[in-house]
Homo-oligomer: A and B are copies of this chain.
Amino acid sequence: MNAEIIAVGSELLTPQRIDTNSLFITEELNALGVEVVMKTVVGDDRDRLAALIRATLERVDAVVLTGGLGPTEDDVTRDAVALALGRGQVFSQEVCDRIAARFARLKRQMAENNKRQAMVIEGAAILPNPNGTAPGQWVEAGGRVVMLLPGPPGEMKPLFTQQCVPRLKKLLPPLVIRSRVYRVAGMGESDLDLAIAPVYTKYSNPVTTVLADMGDIQVHLRARCATEEEAGRLLDEAGSEIESVLGDRIYTADGQPLEAVLGRMLQERGARLGVAESCTGGLVAERITSIAGSSAWFLGGFLAYSDEMKSALLGVDPELIRRHGAVSEPVARAMAEGCRERTGAAYGLSVTGFAGPDGGTEAAPVGTVYIGLAGPDGTLALRIFFGGERNRVRRLAAQTALDLMRRKM
């Protein structure tokens, strides 16, 4: 089975808005073994939409429409599908009562035009929507399926999962999908691809997808099989090869972000962390504290953005800064040590660098970052250089600091 997704709404054709519902729907459809071959965004124009639906039904087995089910004249999806299929619509007292009950529960007046939402395409199954007024509809016609879903993700997602997926499963051969997500730090995307391509090109099942974000790469393996055992076996087979190629560059096989992995490691050894950030200006701590419960292993720390703060807050000797510069190995070490001492944490992690666009010296041009790590076994420092603009340097510096901690603590 293959499918197309149509997002309806003129606001989705502005420079400010984008259809993201289709990502969720694609993921759910792929998990059923259904391929998405085209996605379209169209405005609130009944005739244009009807023509599009007609064309779509000539190409694919299933069409998923999101949006345009509201109560106003602008909401044309239901009418367009009825027009495209040459079917009428009938008023459903049951749907109308359900909408009225929802308004009563919210102590709001039901408007006259909400009754439009109780119109059902002839032969369609109603998909009740517990999170909004517009119900979905499931229409089968000539061996094809058309699904009408509300646009708000909070309504669309549960409706698709709970109502459409079970109906689709009945039409599809049984299939088990299992996936594994490795996350990798400290490698560029092309280097990683070069390293693992010999592995993943050998396997058509599982399918491998590489997704790179700044300094953080996800390697998704997805196996589709008749049984769970088979899927697990295939994942283990390809996965173990990828693990042996990437080694400790892989920081997790369960998809967790780096800061969560770090937290687990610290909790296991009953140790806590303090940070001292200069050029990253709070990015490292912000990532750490985005994890609920991080107070169990994160104490806090210092934003030593200026030279004077490095001395005042962390006790870095001003002479050291004068002699080596604030972006230098001795200062990174002194920051990490001062942080460890003053917070009383087992580990002190520091970052100092030139993020640009201004600043930098001959010895440490813009893009140069030093990371310091002070712990029970002593202190170490890493010098690293990142190309690109300010934001990129800052994000890569934060990622590298967290990863250094993971590998060296």
Q: Is the CB of A38 within 8 A of B37?
A: no
Within 8 A of B (CB), among A201-237: 209, 211, 220
Stretch in A40-48, A188-196, A248-256 touching the partner: A40-48
A238 within 8 A of B: no
Name the one of B43, B45, B209, B342 contacting A312, with C-beta atoms under 8 angstroms: B342
Q: Which of B37, B209, B305, B312 meets A289, CB within 8 Å?
A: B305
Interface of chain A residues 294 through 312 with chain B (CB within 8 A):
294-295, 298-306, 308-309, 312
Cα A294 to Cα B358 with chains together (Å): 11
Q: How far is the CA of A24 from the CA of B18 in the complex (A)?
A: 11
For residue A321, give the distance in angstroms from its CB to the closest CB of chain B.
Answer: 14
Segment at the B interface, from A130-138, A168-176, A239-247, A275-283: A275-283
A331 CB-CB contact with B under 8 Å: no
Copies in the complex: 2
Give chain B residues whose Cβ lies under 8 Å from the Cβ of A336.
Answer: none
A220 to chain B, nearest CB (A): 8
Find residues 306-362 in chain A having any chain B CB closer than 8 Å to their own CB.
306, 308-309, 312-313, 342-344, 356-358
Q: Does A184 contact B (CB under 8 A)?
A: no
- With both chains docked as a complex, state the minimum distance between the C-beta of A309 and any C-beta of chain B, in angstroms: 4
Complex-state Cα separation, A12 to B26, whole angstroms: 11
The yes or no answer to A387 lying at the interface (CB within 8 A) is: no
Closest B residue, CB atoms, query A283: B286
Chain B residue nearest in CB terms to A28: B15
Q: Does A152 sit at the interface, judged by CB under 8 A?
A: no
- Complex alpha-carbon distance, A288 and B55, angstroms: 51
Q: In this assembly, does A293 line the interface, its C-beta being within 8 Å of a C-beta of chain B?
A: yes
> In whole angstroms, what is the CA distance A43 to B20 when docked?
18
> CB of A290 within 8 A of chain B?
yes
With A299-B306, A300-B304, A300-B305 already in contact, the answer to whether A26 and B41 are too (CB < 8 A) is no
Q: A292 an interface residue at 8 Å Cβ cutoff?
A: yes
Q: Evaluate contact between A303 and B290: CB separation under 8 angstroms.
A: no
Q: Are B286 and A282 in contact (CB-based, < 8 A)?
A: yes
Q: A37-B13, A209-B16 are in contact. Are A286 and B286 (CB under 8 A)?
A: yes
* A180 contacts B by Cβ under 8 Å: no
Residues of B near A294 (CB, < 8 A) are 281, 305
Contact with B along A50-67 (1 / 0, CB 8 A): 001001000100000000
Chain B residues in 8 Å Cβ range of A27? 15
> A309–B38 Cα gap in the complex (Å)?
54
Q: Which residues of B contact A113 (CB under 8 A)?
A: none
Contact sample, A vs B, 17 pairs, CB 8 Å cutoff: A13-B38, A14-B209, A15-B23, A15-B27, A15-B30, A38-B42, A38-B48, A48-B59, A282-B283, A282-B284, A292-B356, A299-B309, A300-B305, A300-B309, A300-B313, A301-B302, A313-B313
If the complex has contacts A27-B15, A305-B298, are A344 and B312 also in contact, measured as CB distance less than 8 A?
A: yes
Q: Is the CB of A39 within 8 A of B38?
A: no
**Residue A183 lies at the interface, judged by CB distance under 8 Å to chain B:** no
The 8 closest A-B pairs by CB, nearest first: A281-B289, A282-B282, A282-B285, A15-B27, A282-B286, A300-B305, A300-B309, A300-B303
Contact A26 B15 (CB under 8 A): yes
A36 interface hit (Cβ, 8 Å): yes
Residue of B nearest to A7 (CB): B39
Cα A230 to Cα B309 with chains together (Å) = 52
Given A303-B282, A313-B300; A39-B26 close (CB under 8 Å): no
Chain B nearest CB: distance from A259 CB in Å? 11
Cβ–Cβ contact B40 & A13, under 8 A? no
A55 to B58, CA, bound (A): 13
